[in-house]
Amino acid sequence: MGKRIGILILSIIIISCSAKSSDSNKVDGNTKLETKIDDLVANMTIEEKIGQLTLRGTSSRVKGALPDSLKQAVREGKIGAFLNVMNLDYVNELQQIAVEESPKGIPLMFSRDVIHGFKTIFPIPLGLAASWDAETAKNSARVSAVEVSSVGVRWTFSPMLDIARDSRWGRIAESPGEDPFLASVLAKAYVQGYQGDSLNNHTSLAACAKHFIGYGAAIGGRDYNTAIISEPLLRNVYLPPFAAAVNAGAQTIMTSFNEVNGVPASGNTFILDTVLRDELKFDGFVVSDWESVTEMINHGYAADEKHAAELAVNAGLDMEMTSKSYEKYIKVLIEEGKISEDQINFLVKNILRVKFKLGLFETPYVPKNHNGDLYAEDHLNKAEDAAVKSSVLLKNNDILPLKRNVKVAVIGPLASKPHEQLGTWTFDGDETHTVTPIDAFKKSSVNYDFVEGLSYSRDNSTKNFNAAIAAAKASDVILFFGGEEAILSGEAHSRSNTNLPGAQEDLIKALAKTGKPIVLIIMAGRPISISNIINDVDAVLMAWHPGTMGGIAIEKIIFGDAEPGGRLPVTWPITAGQSPIFYNHKSTGRPPKAESFVQMDSIKVGAWQSSLGNTSHYLDIGYEPQFPFGYGLSYTTFEYSDLKLSQNTISNDETLTVSATITNMGNREGEEVVQFYIQDVVGSITRPVRELKGFERILLKSGASQEVTFKISAQDLKFVNNTMKYVVEPGLFNVWIASNASTGLKTSFNYK
């Protein structure tokens, strides 16, 4: 016994010694790094410093040899980073000039939007969010990093962390969805995936958390539009994913195009300096979005380019993307005393720190043996797994999974569209490697007849309807592949009407008349309003834009070789007119309820105006969404029971546990995403009706049960109040363990 304790004490001492020495190594390493950076900056001319603040983005258009003017600018140290140089020969040539011929030999940083894959394309980020699985997000980022670093790119503009509550907004496709907790889990996973175990590795990328901040709150879902966000809302909802990314070590942050409460993000001292640097202790660098510095003129915040540069520099924006206000005006602004050289030194140091951490000074070139493993089997397997985990089964009248011996009519514009399947931001994905559902059906000998009926998602022609109907009549089941082409979501691609475009609804209605069951598989960048046709179909599977391996994933799900593993990361509206719509809204003084809902057709003609007894709802569609946040069906069913709370009251640093038993009631194995929500019932500022605070994905065999436990401490109950303090307030808290945000087992406790 005594010996064992002795060994234990010894090992504790060894562990604490090594922890101490690794801490002090880190401090020493940091001090050395800072000294290196200081020495370098002390010797740089102002032109070279401005060069480091410059991200040149025009070279993707370079055809033939690189222009001499560009090479000369690099030679003079006037460019610090490039966007979109996707040719390894050009990368090497430019890097060689920077390292060997520029005055200080500072390496260039090459960047690219690798958002959900470089060559092997994963589901769009909203799809990855539907996996509710950090490992899936991390896999997508790691595979992206390994592949794109083989062409010299060491910096990607991802993860996009804008909370999105409006499906009209095209960029909801790139977002982690509507919830700050889920988005924060994903933020950390993406950063870990891109940046790897060590940044100083030729397969690691600097991640870029974007768009800082509030971009998803664009009025009416109109891209680039104004965001009006109270400071508590900013801090409670929009900031947490960025804080998670910074805590996970994200090296760069991109400012957003929008203004927040009157001040464009790229010139916003409060968000860039106070929040990001002072509070979050961010020590990487901030890059603008594409021309977002000079767009401050359009916003009516900067008078001209020179003024824009002054505002951005003083707010702490380190690197200007593509516009040239820094290049043109920093020198004169210093001479005029409008900005200080100290501030410029601060910005330059932030950038050099990242370049050093990436190991670019020691290893500026792509190692000869690094081929990126493009489309490696492991990458494709991970992409397929992600597509399975992201797919959300929204409706199933016991039709899915199909038996292998049925005859299917494959109809619809997206069954065989490799380009559309990849989704937004996939400049590099190669269509010829994309496996469409039709490719997958061919490979696995599905008995099918394929008649598109519509040749693209916006097609309004009914000329092929009869052929589609004939194919349907000759089959047992219709698989309708509908949705949106890739170009209908993403940046600058908002829609006011989010129904299935073109004549898709008409074709579905015509097919429904055959009496054959219809499985609707949606590929789209946003929740699609399907209220017009939901009763005409027997099953709905949301596949998002599922990426390279989407076809195989869908084939496996449809025929029951895989489970649709996703849950909605956003509330799915009945119509776009309900947007913005999100589960973690406030209550209002007149919360909606079934008893008080008045459907407009029941109102008498000439009725007198009265608001008495009315609540917060729409006269035509009520107040519920089509599907709630967190929703998704399985091929089995789960029962939630036996909710337990470890204690009814907690205080200070106590931790409380809540648990429930989940039982697989069906006759096949299945995965469930068990969700944990709280509500702070009364607050010094009103609190949301529910807030996600935890989730766990569990796998249960048929008939098996598992107890799932969540812990709650004061930390989980905190929020930012009206005085911008992060507080937990005494009082009653409701808790739910649930399968989605509109249901669950409920109990409550008190915080004292």
The DSSP secondary-structure symbol of 124 reads P
Question: Of 638, 631, 650, 649, nearest to 708 (Cα)?
Answer: 638
What's the min distance (Å) between Cβ of 528 and ligand NOJ? 23
Positions touching ligand NOJ (CB under 6 A) are: 113, 157, 210, 289-290, 491
What b/e sequence results for 526-542 when a residue is b if at least 16 CB atoms lie within 10 Å of its CB, and e otherwise? bbbbbeebbebbbbbbb
**Residue (157 or 719) nearer to ligand NOJ, CB:** 157
What does the alpha-carbon distance between residue 590 and residue 617 come to, in Å, rounded to a whole number? 10
* Helix or strand (DSSP H, E) at 389: helix 377-390
Structure tokens at 137: 């997000």
**Residue (85 or 712) nearer to ligand NOJ, CB:** 85
What's the min distance (Å) between Cβ of 289 and ligand NOJ? 5
Residue showing tokens 């594409």? 290
What does the alpha-carbon distance between residue 112 and residue 156 come to, in Å, rounded to a whole number? 5
* Cβ–Cβ < 8 Å for 521, 557: no
Question: Of 357, 372, 359, 367, nearest to 92 (Cα)?
Answer: 367
The CA dihedral of 387, 390, 396, 398, to the nearest 10 degrees, is 60
What's the min distance (Å) between Cβ of 558 and ligand NOJ? 34
Concatenated DSSP letters of 397-410:
SS-PSPPTT--EEE
Structure tokens at 671: 């995965």
Give 436-441 contacts, CB < 8 A, sequence gap 24+.
Answer: 436/550, 436/551, 437/410, 437/479, 437/481, 437/521, 437/550, 437/551, 437/554, 437/555, 438/410, 438/551, 439/551, 440/551, 440/552, 440/554, 440/555, 441/408, 441/410, 441/551, 441/555
Question: Of 472, 463, 482, 600, nearest to 532 (Cα)?
Answer: 482
What does the alpha-carbon distance between residue 683 and residue 485 come to, in Å, rounded to a whole number? 45
- Position of minimal CB gap to ligand NOJ: 157
What's the min distance (Å) between Cβ of 155 and ligand NOJ? 11
Question: Does the annotation mark 197 as catalytic?
Answer: no
What's the min distance (Å) between Cβ of 290 and ligand NOJ? 4
**Residue (159 or 401) nearer to ligand NOJ, CB:** 159
| Cα maximum dimension of the chain | 92
Question: Of 308, 319, 314, 315, nearest to 338 (Cα)?
Answer: 314
What's the min distance (Å) between Cβ of 37 and ligand NOJ? 26
Question: Of 216, 228, 23, 35, nearest to 126 (Cα)?
Answer: 216
| Triad 742, 749, 680: Cα angle to 5° | 55
DSSP E strand boundaries for 51-142 = 54-56, 81-83, 109-112
Residues in the chain: 752
What does the alpha-carbon distance between residue 102 and residue 109 come to, in Å, rounded to a whole number? 14
Question: Of 313, 365, 320, 344, nearest to 108 (Cα)?
Answer: 365
What's the min distance (Å) between Cβ of 112 and ligand NOJ? 8
Environment class of 269 (CB within 10 Å of its CB; exposed 0-12, middle 13-18, buried 19+): middle
Question: Considering 133, 162, 166, 289, which one is annotated as catalytic?
Answer: 289
Question: Of 83, 142, 156, 81, nearest to 113 (Cα)?
Answer: 156
What residues have CB less than 8 Å from 309, skipping those under 6 apart? 293, 320, 325, 326, 328, 329, 330, 333, 339
**Residue (162 or 680) nearer to ligand NOJ, CB:** 162
Residue showing tokens 């648990």? 659
Other beta carbons within 10 angstroms of residue 593's beta carbon come to: 11
What's the min distance (Å) between Cβ of 59 and ligand NOJ? 13
**Residue (179 or 289) nearer to ligand NOJ, CB:** 289
Question: Of 149, 225, 110, 131, nearest to 185 (Cα)?
Answer: 131
**Residue (210 or 395) nearer to ligand NOJ, CB:** 210
**Residue (113 or 133) nearer to ligand NOJ, CB:** 113
What residues have CB less than 8 Å from 603, skipping those under 6 apart? 619
**Residue (295 or 384) nearer to ligand NOJ, CB:** 295
* Cβ–Cβ < 8 Å for 136, 562: no
Torsional class of 686: left (φ above 0), alpha (ψ -120 to 50), beta (otherwise): beta
**Residue (254 or 554) nearer to ligand NOJ, CB:** 254
Asked if the bond preceding 123 is cis, omega within 30° of 0, the reply is: no
Catalytic residues: 289
